[in-house]
Structure 1
Amino acid sequence: MSMKSNTALSVAGTILLFIAGSLCQLDVCGQSPLNTKIIGGEDAVAGAWPWQVSIRVDFGVSSYHFCGGSLINKDWVLSAAHCFQTYKASNIVIYFGRLSQSGLNTHETKRSVSRFINHPNYNSSVFDNDIALVQLSSAVDFTNYVRPVCLAAAGSVFAGGTESWVTGFGTLQTGGQPADKLQEVMIPIVDNIDCNNAYKGSRITSNMICAGLLNVGGKSACQGDSGGPVVNKNGSRWIQSGIVSFGTKICDDPKYPNVFARVSRYQDWIKSYTGSNPPGFVQFNSDGFRSSLSPPLFSISLTFCIIPFTISIYLSS
């Protein structure tokens, strides 16, 4: 994630939360007991984002982080389909409770992968339906440092200006080195109409959700953040609204919002694989404003590193 700073007027919207279904996970999902503060664009603290995972490819003699993801129940991780176009499941290892990519992670655990499932309608040319499920080889135990996130239920509304947070181990600048410590950044939702206008076409579909500060730029996600979660808070509960998907070539380009897979569009598909232990789905509704017509919520923007008008993936090497 890029480390530039900008200042903008803050305007709060009213957020209404309704619990919907999946009671088996609602007693644990989206709760982060160790997250005592929210500061965008800097190192996260241990346990602040307990659903965040580091997905690494392991060839025995070498391994490296290539995508992020989120724990959604004891057996499954949610990520982006474009992350799983090259590697075999047998070469992938997922780390939970990881704060740093180097040194000792006291609260860390890891699992191998039994399979990954890309959405059947994933379109690699435009990144539509950029969502994947990853099944773990064995279940993880929940702790204060390893917990599932709640998922946005079907019909959830994330209006322009709604506060969102993105986390990941991506590079700190365009073409730079991956972050050693988990990064966090705070951004507002951008209305899909404004997002599509920014991309000058019909690229943004109803399966996508956008975020960032138009015409401001600033802190941003970069290569290696793909597949990671975009979350929104109400009370003490966090709900995942999006999955890091694509953006523009320069990580802090102020002209283009960030684009994510819209999680609420995939409730039935996710439940069809997670079976008797589905994630906790929460209906989220927020008031807001057309992002290009009113001041943005926060002083931080986020963009992804992909060539404008030519979508490419965010894998780190």
Structure 2
Amino acid sequence: FGLSLLILKSSCFKPKSTLCDLNNCGIPPLNTRIVGGEEAAAGAWPWQISMHRGGGHVCGGSLINNLWVLTAAHCNAGVPPEQYTLYIGRKSQQGANPQEVSRSVTQIINHPDYNSETSDNDISLMKMSSPVSFTQFILPVCLAASGSSLHAGTDVWVTGWGDIGSGVSLPPPENLMEVELPIVGNRKCSCSYAITENMLCAGQAEGGKDSCQGDSGGPLVRKQNSRWIQGGVVSFGIGCALPGLPGVYARVSRYETWIKSHITENQPGFIKITSSGTDSDLSASFFHVILLPLLMYFLLLLFTNRVLLKSSYLTRPFTK
């Protein structure tokens, strides 16, 4: 695949200029992309976080300002913050990462209504031990504001270091992977899962592309104008990249007020995502939200957490 590298000049790009950089969230200075590929270029997703516990990668996350990371609650529920190390600016899990920095975690705030059985409100904030300086490889992502809507067929991207298929680990050197997926409207997705209004779905009807174990907590982003906006957090799914079984993500726009209540300084940049279509991530019926969960709950008990991608897969846990 061809690789095109474009370095964008910005009068605002100063590592210590936090406010300035936050006003420019979601704009990677290194506008790199391997067209049609799966391996992410260095600097392509500068907000991507690798969460480590016990010496290895366990989940993804996203940098949302210079001190806070957004991830999934199932990634850290019940685990003390001191057991985690966060890597920012990382490309490879095994190779050299000259641009990365690491931070310990001092505080974990899981959503108070997180339900580990239904995966509802599967969202969490992690506070780093000290602020990071922004560089071309370390920048925050914008977040979807309240009222954002993603309609069926809208293209989004998911990134992570998860499995490349069910039970198939990402091969060495375990480089960051990326995959482009279409949004699956909640009306259709509710035929496969017991989803709620706090979730959104993405994946190809025929399967073959998805997030997977190890991608959990990572970002689902949509490019709007010149900015990348995070609309989802990798949460759960049945298997990886199976036909008719898209991945399910925590819908970030539902949590703007909650996030702002905990991050009172250098608040993340929130932007409303707009899209067009007929079946949106906001349109799940009462039947699907209330009754179908009873059936799907028992089906989901058969699977375990997963977390992003290759051969067009992204790995996540059942909880992805």
Q: 198, 211, 217: which one pairs with 1:207?
A: 198
Give 1:314 deviation, angstroms. Answer: 2.1
Contact kept in structure 2, 1:71 and 1:149, CA below 8 Å: yes
Superposition map of 1:37-116 within 5 A: 37=33, 39=35, 42-58=38-54, 63-116=55-108
Query: Aligned to 1:229, which of 219, 226, 237?
Result: 219
Aligned-residue offset at 1:41: 5.4
Task: Give TM-score scaled by structure 1 length.
Answer: 0.81
> Within 5 Å, which residues of 2 pair with 1:164-313?
164-178=156-170, 180-199=174-193, 203-214=194-205, 216-249=206-239, 251-290=240-279, 308-310=299-301, 312-313=304-305
Is 2:106–2:128's contact at 8 Å kept on the other side of the alignment? yes
**What is the Cα-based RMSD across aligned positions, in Å?**
2.1
Name the counterpart of 1:119: 111
C-alpha spacing 1:40/1:128, structure 2 compared with 1 (3 Å): farther
Deviations 1:199-257 (A, max 9, x none): 3xxx110000111112x1112221100000000001221000000000012x1211211
Q: Per-residue deviation at 1:84?
A: 0.7
Give secondary structure in 1 for the equivalent of 2:255. Answer: helix
C-alpha change, 1:41 and 1:246, in structure 2 (3 Å) is farther
AA aligned to 1:212 is G
- Cα distance in 2, alignment partners of residues 38 and 235 from structure 1: 20
Where 2:300 maps in the other structure, the secondary structure is coil
Counterparts of 1:122-137 in structure 2 under 5 Å? 122-137=114-129
**Residue 40 of structure 1: CA displacement?**
5.2
1:154 equivalent in structure 2: 146
Find the residue that maps to 2:260 and give its secondary structure.
helix
**Do 2:33 and 2:41's aligned partners in 1 also have CA atoms closer than 8 Å?**
no
- Say if 2:186 and 2:201, in contact at 8 Å, map to a contact too: yes
**2:245 aligned partner, one-letter code:** Y
Give the aligned residue type for 1:206. Answer: E
Distance 1:113 1:276 in 2: 18
TM-superposed CA distance for 1:286, in Å, is: 0.4
Distance 2:139 2:299 in 1: 36
Aligned 8 A contact 2:21 2:134 in 1: no
Structure 2: runs of 5+ lacking an equivalent: 1-18, 281-296, 308-315
CA–CA separation in structure 2 for the residues paired with 1:308 and 1:35: 42
Task: Check whether the contact 1:241–1:262 (CA below 8 A) recurs between aligned residues.
Answer: yes
Q: What letter matches 1:74 in structure 2? A: N
- How many equivalent residue pairs? 272
Partners of 1:144 and 1:258 lie apart in 2 by 30
Cα offset for 1:82?
Answer: 0.2
Deviation of the 1:28 alpha carbon: 2.3
| Deviation per residue, 1:293-316 (Å, 9 max, x gap) | xxxxxxxxxxxxx99533632268
The structure-2 alpha-carbon separation of the partners of 1:219 and 1:42, relative to structure 1 and needing over 3 Å to count, comes to: same
- Equivalent residue number for residue 34 of structure 1: 30
Shift of residue 70, structure 1, vs aligned partner:
0.1
Query: What's the CA shift for 1:47?
Result: 0.2
CA contact (8 A) 2:152 2:279 kept: yes
Amino acid of the structure 1 residue aligned with 2:51 = I
Shift of 1:25: 6.0
- Change in 2 beyond 3 A, CA 1:38/1:196: farther
Shift of 1:86: 4.7
Q: Secondary structure at the match of 2:86?
A: strand
CA deviations over 1:171-194 (Å, ceiling 9, x no partner): 112112245000000001110010
Which amino acid counterpart does residue 225 of structure 2 have in structure 1?
G
Using the size of structure 2 for normalisation, the TM-score is 0.80
Distance (whole Å) between structure 2 residues aligned to residue 272 and residue 260 of structure 1: 22
Aligned to 2:289: none
Contact 1:246 1:312 survives alignment (8 Å):
no
